[in-house]
Structure 1
Amino acid sequence: MSDMQIQENSVVQFHYTLSENGNELESSRQGSPLLYLHGHNQMFAKVEAELTGKSVGDKLSITLAPVDAYGEVKSDAIESVQVKNLSGAKKWKPGMVAWLRTAQGEQQVTIVKVGMFKAEVDTNHPLAGKTVTFDIEVMQIREASADEIAHGHAHGEGGHHH
C-alpha cells in the first residue's frame, strides 16, 4: 500500500504551506491535512500536474505565476453589494477580507468602502496578481470510493462533508 502513487481518482491527504516571497500566508500544519480527489479540477492545474506520480512522504515546492494561481488583478472588479450578504465579521472596515454569498457560492472579497446597507467590494481574490509558492508534503494516498468519484470530491476529515 505504501508504494501507491498519485493518479486519476486517488484521494490524497497532504499538508501545505502557502507563501509569497518567503512570507507564510497560510498553512495546514496547525490543523488536519487536507484531502482532495486527484484529477477532478479541485486544485490548480499545475499543482495537480506536479503531484501526479508522487508517493507518501514526498515533499515538493511549486511556485505559481498569477495566471496559474489566483489570476491577474482585474481593474473593473469593484462591485456594490448588500452588507447582509457579507460574512466573516460583525463590523466592516476598508481593507478587511469578507466572504460574499453569490449565486455561484461564496467568494472572498476585500472591503473598499462600507455604508449602512451597501458596501463596495473588490472581487479580486486577495492573492490576485501575486506569485505564490505551495510547499506540499504527501501524507496519505488511497483509492477513491465510487461515491467520491460520482460526487467529484473526497469525503472524510479534511475533505468534503455533506
Structure 2
Amino acid sequence: MNNANNKFIALTYKLYVDGDHGKEMVEEAKADRPFHFISGFGFALDAFEQQVISLEKGAQFSFSLSKDEAYGDYDDQQVASLDRTIFHVNGKFDSEHIYEDAIVPLQNAEGQRFYGRVLEVGNDKVKIDMNHPLAGETLYFEGEILENRDATEDEVKKLIAHLSGKGCGGGCHHDGEGCCGGGCGNHDGEGCCGGHGDGECSCGGHCHEN
C-alpha cells in the first residue's frame, strides 16, 4: 500500500491471551460482523495497525503483541475509591449502571473519557479499577483481511464528524462490540484493543466525572 493513512480495513480475528492451560480466546470478530476501521485515526492499537495495514484482501494473519505494544503492565495505582455521590443521577445513586463488575464510562477533570470496572460498591465509596481489562497481557491475533482499500471522502468526513462530537459514523467499530476499535468497542463493555483508552465517545449510560 502506498499510503498507510485513510485506508478502510475490514477483517475477522480471534484474540487469545495466555491462560492457565494454554492460550485462551477472549474475543472474536466473525465475517458476518467484522471489525472495521479507517487507518491513521488511532482507532486500533498502533502495533495492530502496523501488522495489518499492508495486507491485501484475502490475506491470513497470525501475530502477537507484547504487553508493551498493547496495554502495558497492570498498575495498582489505577485502582481508586471514589465517592458514591459521583455516581448520583438526579440526586439518587445510579444502581442501574453501578454494580460489581460493571464497566462504566468516566471522565476526568481534563475532559478525557475512559472506562473503569466496578470492584466494590460500599456505603460511602465505589472502588473502581481503571486498568484496561487486558493490561499485563500478551495478545495473540489470528484472522483474515476481508477488505483493504482507500477510504472514501464521505467515510473520512463522517469519521471526522464523529471525532469532533458532531455525530457517530465512519465505520470505526465492530458494530459496537469490537475488540480492536477505540473507546466505544466492547470487551465486557469496554474496548479491548483500541488505540486510546480515554475513548472518543460513550457506549451508553452516564459519563461520571472523578
Q: Give the alignment's TM-score, normalised by structure 2.
A: 0.61
Structure 1 segment 112-127 matched on structure 2, within 5 A: 112-116=119-123, 118-127=125-134
The question of 1:35 aligning with 2:36 is answered yes
Q: In 1, Cα distance between the equivalents of 2:120 and 2:136?
A: 21
Query: Shift of residue 116 of structure 1?
Result: 4.3
Q: In 2, Cα distance between the equivalents of 1:28 and 1:6?
A: 26
Task: Report if the CA contact (8 A) 2:98-2:104 is conserved.
Answer: no
Write out per-residue CA displacement over residues 19-48 of structure 1, whole angstroms, 9 at most, x where no aligned residue. Answer: 102201011128511211122222111111
Q: Give the alignment's TM-score, normalised by structure 1.
A: 0.77
Task: Report if the CA contact (8 A) 1:18-1:27 is conserved.
Answer: yes
Structure 1 segment 1-162 matched on structure 2, within 5 A: 7-21=4-18, 22-29=23-30, 31-81=32-82, 82-84=86-88, 90=97, 92-93=99-100, 96-102=101-107, 103-107=111-115, 109-116=116-123, 118-150=125-157, 151-152=159-160, 155-156=170-171, 158=174
Question: Taking CA–CA contacts closer than 8 Å with sequence separation of 6 or more, which of the two structures ends up with the larger relative contact order?
Answer: 1
Q: In 2, Cα distance between the equivalents of 1:70 and 1:31?
A: 28
Write out per-residue CA displacement over residues 64-109 of structure 1, whole angstroms, 9 at most, x where no aligned residue. Answer: 111111221112111233345899x65623xx141223232241x2
Equivalent residue letter for 1:46: A
C-alpha RMSD of the superposition:
3.3
Q: In 2, Cα distance between the equivalents of 1:91 and 1:8?
A: 39
Structure 2: state its 5+ residue gaps: 164-168, 177-200, 202-210
**DSSP 3-state at the match of 2:73:** coil
Q: In 2, Cα distance between the equivalents of 1:72 and 1:130?
A: 8
Task: Report if the CA contact (8 A) 1:69-1:132 is conserved.
Answer: yes
Q: In 2, Cα distance between the equivalents of 1:54 and 1:84?
A: 48
Q: In 2, Cα distance between the equivalents of 1:49 and 1:145?
A: 21
More strand by share: 1
Number of matched residues? 155
Q: In 1, Cα distance between the equivalents of 2:144 and 2:11?
A: 6
Closer, same or farther: CA 138–17 of 1 in aligned 2, 3 Å: same
Equivalent residue letter for 2:71: Y
Task: Report if the CA contact (8 A) 1:36-1:42 is conserved.
Answer: yes
Identity %: 22
Query: Shift of residue 5 of structure 1?
Result: 8.2
Q: In 2, Cα distance between the equivalents of 1:57 and 1:6?
A: 19
Q: In 2, Cα distance between the equivalents of 1:137 and 1:117?
A: 49
Equivalent residue letter for 1:27: E
Equivalent residue letter for 1:10: K
**DSSP 3-state at the match of 2:106:** strand
Query: Shift of residue 53 of structure 1?
Result: 1.7
